[in-house]
Amino acid sequence: MVRLIHSIPDLFNDSDLDRVELYIGRTGCTPRHVKGRWKIHRDEKDHEYALVAIRCPTDRIVRWEGMMVKILNRLKSRGRLCVRNAEGSGGGGRVADTDDSVVYITWRLKRRSKLTIPTRKDVREIAADLVEYGASSNPKITSQSIQKALDPITRVKSEKTDTEWHDNHG
């Protein structure tokens, strides 16, 4: 997820993370579900772009989305968010009646603003806060595993993944 967010500016010729305002949500893993959520974000939030970040069994999706939103909220409260603004429902709303669901990201570009990159100390403290949340559903989730997963947020320029526009984009 972190590498996907860091890679969003690479989809544009002249952009940077300080222009990205994003939303993280979940929905059923069908074209109708995904298209419906994306249309709502376009109409209500003026978000112009979207991608699917994670696909997993529906019984796990609320926990995945909740963890991602908690991470963003903790970074935001510390003034260490790597994007201009981010929000998410954090597990609110009805769970889809499908075998699989997705966590998606929608976003728009705004004017640039100054960013403060999170430090490894921020990552350690956030991981400690999240251990109890993650451990309730999976005892293998430790502070160290969360730290390892979050460490790329301390290196926004180098920790990216391959991201491309869909053939039907535009």
Say if CB 84 and CB 72 are below 8 A apart. no
Taking Cα atoms as reference points, which of 1, 23, 22 lies closest to residue 89?
Answer: 23
Please give the model's pTM, rounded to 2 decimal places: 0.66
Task: Give 54-95 pLDDT, tens digit per residue.
Answer: 999 999 988 888 888 888 888 888 888 777 777 776 666 788
- Residue 106: strand, helix, or coil: strand
Quick one: tokens of 128? 């400690």
Task: Give 94-152 pLDDT, tens digit per residue.
Answer: 889 999 999 999 999 887 666 678 888 888 888 887 776 655 566 677 788 888 888 88
